[in-house]
Amino acid sequence: MTADVLMEDNHCLAIVKPAGLLTMGDNTADETAADMAREYLKTKYAKPGKVFLGVVHRLDRPVSGTLLFARTSKAASRLSDQFRRGTVRKTYIAMVEGQLTGRGRLQDWLRKDRTRNHVSIVSETAEGARECRLNYRVLENSRDQTLVEVRPLTGRSHQIRVQLAGLGHPIVGDLRYGAQDALGSRIMLHAARLEFVHPTLKTDVRIECHLPDEFEL
């Protein structure tokens, strides 16, 4: 699989992550987006040996869209710090089940069961609970599905998937969190845009990723 590059310079590389592809390796030997990015750099610049690539954030395996890597250790440290502090602006497009209207903010407390890789909405006082917030606005409706723009204000695991399901509108294809039907290797969640400060130039960077055709209602 060849990398679809959205942005590249001496310190950053952003690619389109296809749905169904891991961001980085797990206990399987499956190809990852990081492998794909390294192979792209190795081939383009004829680099011998290992290619440095810093993984500064992740997308869930069934999610598509904008994935940013660092090409230097300095960039990796500075970009990771921006993600950790929550200063990176992330915009997603989701197709959810049912008819949702208007716009709003969701605020929940989530807890992750790491043994099951499953996240649940819990009470504020529950052990391990972490506050999660996101803003959403409806873009388009059909009879039984809604296209929604989502801007997470915190960066918790599975946050968008769980919070939209908790609202009564699970993401289409997301069986793990209550969707009616599976869509193979993907769910209808797409990382459409990243906005951050360049790690060395200190300029504002905005990277956008086209919406796949299947998101048309």
Is 60 one of the annotated active-site residues of the chain? yes
Q: Are 132 and 167 in contact (CB under 8 A)?
A: no
Determine which one of 4, 26, 35, 60 is catalytic. 60
For the purposes of burial, counting CB atoms within 10 Å of the CB of 15, is it exposed (0-12), middle (13-18) or buried (19 or more)?
buried
Residue with tokens 């699989």: 1
Tokens of 131: 């506050």
Compute the CA torsion angle 13, 82, 116, 167 (nearest 10 deg): -110
Active site residues: 60
